C-alpha cells in the first residue's frame, strides 16, 4: 500500500493534464473530496523540529570538516618526521625494445618495454640493431599512473656504484656484476582502481620476463651463465603486480625469486571501488600463503619479499598498508621503514621514494650485493639475501637482526689470539661506565678495558652491554675462556646511528653524503652475552678521532656500560590517562640507555607530544657540558619502525607510529607496545612530559579515513530516504531532506550518538565478526586470516580496536551531518534562489514555455534511450558510466521540476523533495564510481579495450536508470 501510494503520489502530477496550475500542488492519497482522516503525523511537525538540533549538528560538523582540512593542509611534519631527502642528478637514456611485439604477447599494442642506460657510464643500449646486454636483468614495475621513467634514479645509482672501483671494492660480493635495468611503460595505467588492468600488467610482464631471458640466450658474447631469473623492483601498485605475476598461468617457473617493493600496499587494497581488486587481492594472498605453508616449495626456499615504506610522509598510501607480516614469515622477508634504514633516517613521500638520494644509494648497494653472476639464478641464496637485507635495511637493534649476527654463533666465528694479546688491561666493574674522551685520553694508561661477565648469567634477570661512540670503528672483542684465547671481533655488530651534537637538528644531517660523521653503537643482550666470559675494549688513539673532534674536546668520546640492573621501565599509562592528566617521566644519565615501554600505547590513530627538558636540580650537568646531546630512539617490535629524535631539549617532540592500524592484519601474540629508548650523557637528568598531539592526530585521521567521507553520507542519506518513505506512507506528504534529517536528530539523536560510539567495540568482538561474516553476501573479507598463527583483522565499520578511539565514529557522524547540510544548502540555493531568480528575470515567452510543459512518465524516446544505454552496458561501457549519465539526467530533472514550481509560485512538493533526495544519493554514490570511469576513459584514449567483466552488470544500474529517466 505504501509503495503504491508513493508511486502514485510522484507520478500523478505528471498524468494530470486538466489543471496545469495545480499540476505540482501537494498530492493527497485517496479521494480529494473525501475528508482526510485524523493523522498522527503532519509535515509541520518535521519543519518545526528542525532548527535547534539540525543547525547545531550541522554547524559543529562543518567546523570539524574545516578543522581537519586546515590541519591536513597546513600542519607541517617536524623533527623526525620532517622530509630530508637530498637532490639528485642523472643522465638517463632509454631504448625501446620494439622486438617484443604481438608475436610474444597480445598486450604489445597497449604496453611497451624499455632498457635503461646511464649516459657516459653504461654501454650504449644498441650495437647496430642489437641490444647490448652484459649484466644481470632487473625489471622495474611502476605503480598507479606511474611512468617507466621512474626507474632512472635507482638504475643510475646502480650504474655509478658499480663503475666506481673504490665503492665497488666495499661491496660484500665477489661475484658482483652490473645490472641491466628493464622498465615497463604502462601508459600511466590506473592500476589501483581496476583489477582487470592489474591482471593485464601481470600477464604482460610474465611474457616480458620470458622475452628478456631469451635476449640473453641470443647475446653471443654474454660472459656468464644465461640468466634464468629476473630481479623485481616494484613501486606502489607495481609491487602488487609483482606478486600477482607468480600466480598466473603464463608465469615462467623460477623466473622470479627476489622482489623489492617500495610503498606497495600488500596488507590491504588502498581503494575498494572495484570488486575485482578485492577478489584479486584475496586470490593472490591465498596462493602465496598456500605456497609458503609448505617447506618444500619453491616459494619457501627461494622467494624473498622485502617491503620498504616511506612512513608518515606517504600521504598517498598509509604506510600501514605496506606490511607483509601476514603474508610471509621472517624467513622470507620483512617490512622496513625509511626512518629505520641506517644513513637514510628520513620519512619519504610516495613519489620521492624512487628518487630520494639517501635511499637510492642503499637500494643500489642492496641490489648489487644480492647478485651472483656465476649462477643462472643471478642472485644469492635466500638466507644470504635476507642477511644482506637485515644489514642494510634494519637499524640492527631489532632482535630479528641481532639473532643472525656473528656473535650469536661463537662456534663458527671464534678466532684464536696469543695469550699476551690483551695483557695490558684494566678491569671495569659491572654497572660502571667506561668514559674515554679526547680530553682524558692522555691519562688513560692501559690499552684495553676488560669487563667480566657474571658467571651466573642465566639467573640474572637483566643484563645488557651498550657502547656508544663517535669513533668510526670501535674495537670490541667477545671472548671465551679456554686452553687458548678465543675471541670474536664485534665488527659485524657495530651499528650506525645518527650523530647528536650541538647544532644538529635532524638525523639525516649525518646520513649518506654528509660531512658530519654518524655515531656508532653496539647493543648486545643477555641471549648473546651468556655465550661468552668477558669483553675486551680497545683504547682509541688520537688518530681515531676526527680533526674536528680533536679540536672540540667535548665531541670525541667512547662510552661503554654493562648493566645487570634494569634499564628497562614498564609504564601502564593508558591513552585516556594521558588525555586527562598527561604523563611525566624522570630520566637519569647513570647509564647510557634507558628504555621505557608503554604497553597500553599501541594505537596508530593517536599521536603524542613529548616535551623534554633538563631536570631542575643541582646534580644535572648543563647541555653545553655534555659529551653529546640527548636523543631518543622510538621503536616498536613489529613492523620494524624506528625513528630518531634529535635536538630534544626544550622542544615538542612528535610521537607517531605505524603499529595497530585499522583494517590491517595483526598478530595478536606479538608485543605492540610503544618503546622509547633515551640516550642520555653521563651526569644529565631529564624530565619529559607526554600529552596528546591533537593536530597530528587529526592529520593522520584524514590520511587513513579519506574514503569514509564518501561512505558515511551514503548511509545517512539512505536513512533519511527511508524515513521520508515512512512519513509519506502515513501522511501522503514527502518532506524535504534537511527537515527530515533534523527531525531524525531531534527524535533519535541520543540513539544515533550511542550507535556511532558503540559500533566500534561491538564489531571488534570476535563473535560479532563471525556473525557479520556469515551475513556478508560477498564474503571477501575474512577477519580470521590465520587462526593458527593468531593473525586477525577487523574489516568492519572503522576497523578500530581501542574503545577510546570509538569517538571517531561520533566525529565522522557529526562531520557527515555537516557535509550533508552543506550540500543540501547549496542545492537549495541553486534551485530556489538562482534558478527562480533567473526565471523571474526572463521574458514572458520563457515563462509561458514552462507552463505548457506536459511531461509523461515514459515517452517512447526516453524508453528507447534507456534501453540503448542498458545495451551499451551489456556490451561495452561499464555500468558506472551509465550511473554518471543517470546523475546528469537527475540533475536535469531537478532543474525542470524547480523551474515549473517557480513558474507556478507554489510550495515545494512531493516530487521536488523526492528528486532532491535522490539527487543527493546519486551525487555521493557517483564519487565511488568515478575511479572506474577514469580507467575506462583512459583506455579509450589509448585505443585499448580492457576487460570490464564485473562492470557489465545491467541489474546494478537498471532500476535507478528507469527511475530517474522520467
605: pLDDT strictly greater than 80: yes
**pLDDT score recorded for residue 834:** 64
Q: Which comes out higher in pLDDT, residue 930 or 209?
A: 209
Q: Which pLDDT does position 481 carry in this prediction? A: 84
Q: What is the CATH number of the domain that holds 681?
A: 2.60.120
**Shared-domain flag, residues 939 and 890:** yes
Residues catalogued as catalytic:
236
More confident residue, 788 or 19: 788
Quick: pLDDT tens for 859-872: 566 677 777 777 87
Given a cut of 80, whether residue 22 has pLDDT beyond it is: no
Q: What is the number of structural domains in the chain? A: 4
pLDDT at site 482: 78
Residue 775 lies in a domain: no
Q: Which three cell numbers stand for residue 39?
A: 493523522
Residue 524 C-alpha cell reads as 648486545
Instruction: Tell which residue, 696, 699, 741, 693, has the closest CA to residue 716.
Output: 741
pLDDT at position 788 is 67
Residue with the larger pLDDT of the pair 618 and 567: 567
303 vs 383: CA distance, rounded Å: 10
- What's the rounded mean pLDDT across residues 820-826? 92
Lowest mean pLDDT among 5-14, 19-28, 38-47: 19-28
171 with 278, same domain: the answer is: yes
pLDDT tens digits, residue range 335-350?
999 999 999 999 999 9
d(C-alpha 358, C-alpha 376), whole Å: 31
Q: Which residues pair with 92 in a beta bridge?
A: 118
The mean-pLDDT minimum among 440-444, 906-910, 915-919 falls in 906-910
Same domain? For 580 and 555 the reply is no
Residue 852 CB-half CA count within 13 A: 6
pLDDT, residue 772, reads 86
pLDDT of residue 880: 82
Which cell numbers hold the place of 260?
623489492
> b/e per residue, 505-516, with b = 16+ CB within 10 A?
ebbbbbbbeeee
Same domain, 382 and 504: no
288 shares a domain with 410: no
SS3 state of residue 285: helix
Instruction: Kindly state whether residue 935 falls inside one of the protein's structural domains.
Output: yes
Domain end marker among 516, 538, 563:
563
Residues 341 and 379 both lie in one domain:
yes
For residue 608, the enclosing domain spans 568-693
Domain termination site, one of 563, 581, 607:
563
Q: Using 50, 70 and 90 to split pLDDT, how confident is the model at 3? A: very low
**What Rg do the C-alpha atoms of the chain give, in angstroms?**
34
Per-residue confidence (pLDDT) for residue 125, from 0 to 100:
78
Same domain, 210 and 344: yes
Same domain (yes/no): 476, 435 = yes
pLDDT attached to residue 32:
40
Give the alpha-carbon dihedral of 813, 817, 818, 822, to 10 degrees: 150
Q: Are residues 59 and 112 in the same domain?
A: no
CB 547 within 8 A of CB 470: no
Which range among 107-116, 309-318, 456-465 shows the weakest confidence by mean pLDDT? 456-465
**Phi, psi dihedral angles at 308 (to 5 degrees):** -115, 130
Q: Quick one: 540 and 597 in the same domain? A: no
Chain-centroid distance of CA 518 in Å reads: 29
- Whether residue 723 lies inside any domain: the answer is yes
List, as one string, the DSSP characters of 468-531.
Answer: EESSSS--EEEEE-SSSEEEEEGGGG-EEE----TT---GGGGSTT-SSPPEEEEEEEHHHHTT
Question: Does some domain include residue 33?
Answer: no
CATH number at residue 303: 3.40.50.1820
pLDDT attached to residue 903: 53
Please say if the pLDDT value at position 24 is more than 70. no
Residue matched to cell numbers 498524468: 15
pLDDT for the residue 52: 67
- Residue for cell digits 624512487? 354
pLDDT tens-digit map of 348-393:
999 999 999 999 999 999 999 999 999 999 999 999 999 999 999 9
**For residues 202 and 866, which has the higher predicted lDDT (pLDDT)?**
202
pTM, rounded to two decimals: 0.89
How many other C-beta atoms lie within 10 A of the C-beta of residue 591? 21
Q: Among candidates 268, 273, 115, 111, which has minimal Cα distance to 202?
A: 111
For residue 196, what is its C-alpha cell?
582487470
DSSP-derived pairing of the beta strands 464-469 and 557-563:
antiparallel
505-543: pLDDT as tens digits: 999 999 988 889 999 999 999 889 999 999 999 998 877
Place of cell 568492519: 796
Residues 545 and 576 in one domain: no
- Residue 30 scores a pLDDT above 50: no
Q: Which of 663, 693, 723 is the last residue of a domain?
A: 693
- Closest alpha carbon to 339 in 651, 705, 639, 602: 639
Whole-number Å distance between alpha carbons of 428 and 476: 14
As a whole number, the mean pLDDT across the chain is 86
pLDDT given at position 549: 59
| pLDDT, mean of residues 596-603 | 94
Residue 700 lies in a domain: no
**What CA–CA distance (Å, rounded) separates 143 from 297?**
29
Are 48 and 147 contained in the same domain?
Answer: no
Query: What average pLDDT does range 191-207 have in this prediction?
Result: 93
The candidate with the shortest Cα–Cα distance to 533, out of 437, 601, 453, is 453
Domain assignment present for residue 790? The answer is no
Q: Could you tell me if residue 781 is inside a domain? A: no
> What was the pLDDT predicted at 541?
82
Rounding to the nearest 10 degrees, give the CA dihedral for residues 79, 82, 84, 87. Answer: -160
Tell me, yes or no, whether 84 lies in a domain. no
Cα–Cα distance measured from residue 368 to residue 357, given in angstroms and rounded to the nearest whole number: 17
Amino acid at each position: 500500500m505504501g509503495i503504491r501510494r508513493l508511486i502514485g503520489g510522484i507520478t500523478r502530477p505528471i498524468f494530470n493534464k486538466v489543471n496545469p496550475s495545480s499540476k505540482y500542488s501537494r498530492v493527497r492519497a485517496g479521494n480529494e473530496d473525501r475528508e482526510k482522516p485524523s493523522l498522527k503525523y503532519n509535515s509541520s511537525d518535521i519543519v518545526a523540529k528542525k532548527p535547534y538540533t539540525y543547525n547545531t549538528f550541522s554547524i559543529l560538523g562543518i567546523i570539524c570538516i574545516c578543522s581537519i582540512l586546515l590541519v591536513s593542509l597546513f600542519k607541517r611534519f617536524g623533527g623526525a618526521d620532517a622530509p630530508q631527502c637530498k637532490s639528485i642528478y642523472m643522465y638517463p637514456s632509454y631504448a625501446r625494445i620494439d622486438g617484443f611485439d604481438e608475436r610474444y604477447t597480445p598486450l604489445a599494442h597497449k604496453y611497451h618495454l624499455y632498457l635503461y642506460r646511464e649516459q657516459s657510464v653504461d654501454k650504449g643500449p644498441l650495437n647496430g640493431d642489437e641490444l647490448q646486454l652484459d649484466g644481470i636483468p632487473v625489471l622495474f614495475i611502476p605503480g598507479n599512473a606511474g611512468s617507466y621513467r621512474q626507474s632512472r634514479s635507482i638504475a643510475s645509482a646502480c650504474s655509478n656504484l658499480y663503475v666506481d672501483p673504490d665503492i665497488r671494492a666495499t661491496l660484500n660480493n665477489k661475484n658482483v656484476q652490473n645490472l641491466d635495468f628493464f622498465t615497463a611503460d604502462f601508459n600511466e595505467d590506473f592500476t589501483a582502481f581496476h583489477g582487470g588492468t592489474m591482471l593485464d600488467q601481470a600477464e604482460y610482464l610474465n611474457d616480458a620476463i620470458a622475452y628478456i631471458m631469451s635476449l640473453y640466450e641470443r647475446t653471443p658474447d654474454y660472459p656468464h651463465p644465461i640468466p634464468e631469473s629476473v630481479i623485481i623492483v616494484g613501486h606502489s601498485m607495481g609491487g602488487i603486480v609483482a606478486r600477482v605475476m607468480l600466480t598466473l598461468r603464463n608465469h615462467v617457473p623460477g623466473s622470479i625469486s627476489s622482489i623489492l617493493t617500495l610503498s606497495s600496499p600488500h596488507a590491504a587494497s588502498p581503494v575498494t571501488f572495484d570488486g575485482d581488486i578485492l577478489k584479486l587481492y584475496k586470490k593472490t594472498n591465498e596462493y602465496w600463503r598456500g605456497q609458503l605453508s609448505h617447506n618444500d616449495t619453491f616459494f619457501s626456499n627461494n622467494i624473498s619479499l622485502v617491503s620498504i615504506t616511506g612512513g608518515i610522509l606517504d600521504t598517498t598510501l598509509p604506510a600501514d598498508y605496506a606490511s607483509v607480516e601476514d603474508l610471509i614469515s621472517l624467513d622470507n622477508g620483512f617490512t622496513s621503514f625509511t626512518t629505520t634504514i641506517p644513513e637514510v633516517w628520513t620519512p619519504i613521500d610516495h613519489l620521492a621514494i624512487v628518487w630520494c638520494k639517501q635511499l637510492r644509494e642503499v637500494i643500489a648497494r642492496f641490489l648489487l650485493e644480492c647478485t651472483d653472476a656465476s649462477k643462472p639464478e643471478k642472485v644469492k641464496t635466500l638466507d644470504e639475501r635476507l642477511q644482506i637485507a637485515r644489514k642494510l635495511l634494519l637499524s640492527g637493534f631489532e632482535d630479528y637482526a641481532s639473532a643472525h649476527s656473528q656473535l650469536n654463533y661463537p662456534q663458527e666465528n671464534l678466532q684464536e689470539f696469543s695469550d699476551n694479546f690483551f695483557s695490558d688491561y684494566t678491569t671495569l666493574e659491572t654497572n660502571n661506565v667506561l668514559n674515554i674522551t679526547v680530553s682524558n685520553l692522555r691519562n688513560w694508561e692501559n690499552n684495553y678495558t676488560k669487563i667480566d661477565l657474571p658467571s651466573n648469567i642465566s639467573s640474572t634477570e637483566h643484563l645488557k652491554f651498550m657502547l656508544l661512540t663517535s669513533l668510526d670503528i670501535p674495537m670490541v672483542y667477545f671472548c671465551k675462556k679456554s686452553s687458548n684465547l678465543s675471541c670474536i671481533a664485534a665488527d659485524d655488530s657495530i651499528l650506525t646511528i645518527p650523530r647528536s651534537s650541538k647544532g644538529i637538528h635532524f638525523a639525516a644531517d649525518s646520513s649518506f653524503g654528509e660531512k658530519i660523521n654518524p655515531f656508532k653503537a653496539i647493543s648486545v643482550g643477555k641471549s648473546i652475552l651468556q655465550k661468552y666470559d668477558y669483553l675486551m675494549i680497545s683504547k682509541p688513539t688520537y688518530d681515531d678521532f676526527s680533526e674536528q673532534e680533536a679540536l672540540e674536546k667535548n665531541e670525541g668520546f667512547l662510552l661503554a656500560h654493562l648493566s645487570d640492573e634494569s634499564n628497562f621501565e614498564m609504564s601502564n599509562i593508558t591513552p585516556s590517562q594521558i588525555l586527562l592528566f598527561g604523563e611525566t617521566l624522570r630520566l637519569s644519565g647513570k647509564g647510557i640507555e634507558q628504555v621505557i615501554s608503554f604497553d597500553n600505547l599501541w594505537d596508530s590513530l593517536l599521536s603524542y607530544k613529548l616535551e623534554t627538558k633538563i631536570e631542575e636540580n643541582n646534580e644535572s650537568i648543563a647541555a653545553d657540558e655534555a659529551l653529546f646531546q640527548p636523543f631518543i630512539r622510538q621503536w616498536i617490535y613489529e613492523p620494524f619502525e624506528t625513528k630518531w629524535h634529535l635536538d630534544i631539549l626544550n622542544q615538542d617532540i612528535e610521537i607517531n607510529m605505524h603499529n595497530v592500524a585499522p583494517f590491517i592484519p595483526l598478530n595478536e601474540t606479538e608485543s605492540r607496545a610503544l618503546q622509547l629508548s633515551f640516550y642520555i650523557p653521563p651526569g644529565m637528568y631529564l624530565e619529559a612530559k607526554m600529552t596528546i598531539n591533537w593536530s597530528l592526530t587529526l592529520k593522520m585521521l584524514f590520511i587513513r579515513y579519506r574514503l569514509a567521507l564518501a561512505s558515511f553520507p551514503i548511509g545517512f542519506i539512505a536513512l533519511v530516504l527511508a524515513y521520508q518513505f515512512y512519513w509519506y506512507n502515513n501522511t501522503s506528504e514527502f518532506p524535504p531532506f534537511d527537515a527530515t534529517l533534523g527531525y531524525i536528530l531531534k527524535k533519535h539523536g541520543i540513539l544515533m550518538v550511542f550507535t556511532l560510539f558503540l559500533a566500534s567495540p561491538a564489531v571488534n568482538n570476535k563473535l560479532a565478526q563471525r556473525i557479520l561474516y556469515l551475513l556478508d553476501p560477498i564474503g571477501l573479507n575474512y577477519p580470521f586470516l590465520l587462526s593458527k598463527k593468531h593473525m586477525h583483522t577487523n574489516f568492519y565499520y572503522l576497523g578500530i580496536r581501542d574503545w577510546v578511539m570509538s569517538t571517531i565514529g561520533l566525529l565522522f557522524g557529526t562531520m557527515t551531518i555537516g557535509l550533508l547540510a552543506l550540500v543540501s544548502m547549496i542545492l537549495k540555493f541553486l534551485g530556489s534562489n538562482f534558478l527562480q531568480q533567473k526565471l523571474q528575470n526572463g521574458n514572458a515567452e520563457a515563462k509561458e514555455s514552462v507552463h505548457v510543459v506536459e511531461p509523461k512518465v515514459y515517452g517512447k524516446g526516453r524508453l528507447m534511450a534507456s534501453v540503448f544505454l542498458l545495451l551499451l552496458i551489456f556490451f561495452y561501457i561499464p555500468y558506472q558510466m551509465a550511473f554518471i549519465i543517470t546523475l546528469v539526467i537527475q540533475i536535469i530533472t531537478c532543474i525542470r521540476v524547480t523551474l515549473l514550481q517557480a513558474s507556478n509560485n507554489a510550495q515545494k512538493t512531493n516530487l521536488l523533495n523526492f528528486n532532491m533526495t535522490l539527487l543527493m544519493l546519486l551525487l555521493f554514490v557517483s564519487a565511488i564510481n568515478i575511479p572506474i570511469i577514469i580507467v575506462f576513459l583512459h583506455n579509450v584514449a589509448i585505443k585499448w579495450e580492457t576487460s570490464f567483466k564485473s562492470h557489465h552488470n545491467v541489474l546494478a544500474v537498471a532500476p535507478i536508470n528507469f527511475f530517474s529517466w522520467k
